[in-house]
Amino acid sequence: MHVTYWIVGEDEATLTQCNYFAVLPIKRQLKSTKLFIYSSHLWTGMSVGFIGAGQLAHALVRGFTAAGVIAGNRITASSPDTDLPTVAGLRKLGVNLTMSNKEVVNKSDVLFLAVKPHIIPFVLDEIGPDIEDRHLIVSCAAGVTISSIEKKLFQHRQFPKVMRCMTNTPVVVREGATVYATGTHAEVEDGKLLEQLMSSVGYCTEVEEDLIDAVTGLSGSGPAYAFTALDALADGGVKMGLPRRLAVRLGAQALLGAAKMLLDSEQHPGQLKDDVCSPGGATIHALHVMESGGFRSLLINAVEASCIRTRELQFLADQENISPAAIKKTTLDKVLQQPGVSRAEVGVRGGINLFNNSSPRKKY
């Protein structure tokens, strides 16, 4: 299931044209030769599916294929809307696209639920009957608890293997920050599997589920804080005379470099900050301005607000009172057009009751 590929050669350009690898992550030079060894861990025999073909699915697939950890054609993704730009992007990466969630389930071993949180119950109702023992269900939906998923699937499968993960958009450049929590019936190996997969696109570690809201506030939303900061830093540069493109470039590089220094260092960020501030110099003057503006407390407040909102959304979701307006009619119609999907299965009734007690198991 898990294979390490090695390619030996002299010419990097030729090697990287090899179909299997978009980027060869690990490169070593054989001593006193001109030969380079490129290696990558590749999964063979394991298929990955995505329910939902939006930003998250696209970012993850781009990351996985760039890391060479799985080939595009071993990935299936479903979306009722084929006009999405992310759908086109996925197609370009070799992903098999379908409008049928059931098809994704049948063709996958690791199944990512990459739809908006309020859609999750509908999806679970629909695919519940098709879940097999082999499936590892990974929900990426913010605020959706493992227990709510296990509860939903219970009528179809008593011991579904469920994991919950919170990642972030920089997986697309393989610098994501991912945490995952393991469900009741998932084994340690399932966690390790997910960790290996997500480690190919950045940092990944296991956490207790009750920390996931905090992670959302910090690293889930984090890139947005950084983009805002970079936009403003660039404005500062432009104000002081720099051309915009250069300002953006330099600002981004400064943050990237600082982050790298911190990750590589044992030192406290406070110490690293001190190392930049020469006495009476420019930087300490700037820092004083930032402190006066309450920079630190703003960031603390932001993380707190994002975390609290995540909890609120989770609370609302747990109420299980999703109004029919919460799901787009067009989306629902397309879902209902799929072969084998009945209204009863998707839990659409007069008022939405997401606990679907009488759905007949359809096999096809």
Positions in the binding site for another protein (CB under 8 A): 267-271, 274, 288, 291-294, 296-297, 300-301
Question: Minimal distance in Å, beta carbon 307 to another protein?
Answer: 11
Question: Minimal distance in Å, beta carbon 126 to another protein?
Answer: 38
Question: Minimal distance in Å, beta carbon 177 to another protein?
Answer: 17
Is 273 or 334 the residue whose CB approaches another protein more closely? 273
Q: Is 7 exposed, middle or buried (0-12, 13-18, 19+ CB in 10 A)?
A: middle
Question: Minimal distance in Å, beta carbon 300 to another protein?
Answer: 5
**Distance from C-alpha of 227 to C-alpha of 230, rounded to nearest angstrom:** 5
Is 59 or 214 the residue whose CB approaches another protein more closely? 214
DSSP letter for each residue of 66-128 = HHTSS-GGGEEEE-S-TT-HHHHHHHHTTPEEES-HHHHHHT-SEEEE-S-GGGHHHHHHHHG
- Taking each continuous run of H as one helix and of E as one strand, the counts in the chain are 14, 11
Are the C-beta atoms of residues 124 and 153 closer than 8 Å to each other?
A: yes
95 CB-near residues (< 8 Å, 6+ apart):
50, 61, 72, 73, 75, 76, 77
Question: Minimal distance in Å, beta carbon 349 to another protein?
Answer: 42
Q: In which residue are the tokens 């959302």 written?
A: 216
Is 271 or 278 the residue whose CB approaches another protein more closely? 271
3-state DSSP call for residue 53?
A: coil
Supply the Cα-derived Rg of the chain in whole angstroms.
Answer: 23
Is 8 or 308 the residue whose CB approaches another protein more closely? 308
Question: Minimal distance in Å, beta carbon 299 to another protein?
Answer: 9
**Distance from C-alpha of 18 to C-alpha of 6, rounded to nearest angstrom:** 12
**Beta strand pairing call for 161-166 and 136-139:** parallel
Is 292 or 323 the residue whose CB approaches another protein more closely? 292
Is 274 or 312 the residue whose CB approaches another protein more closely? 274
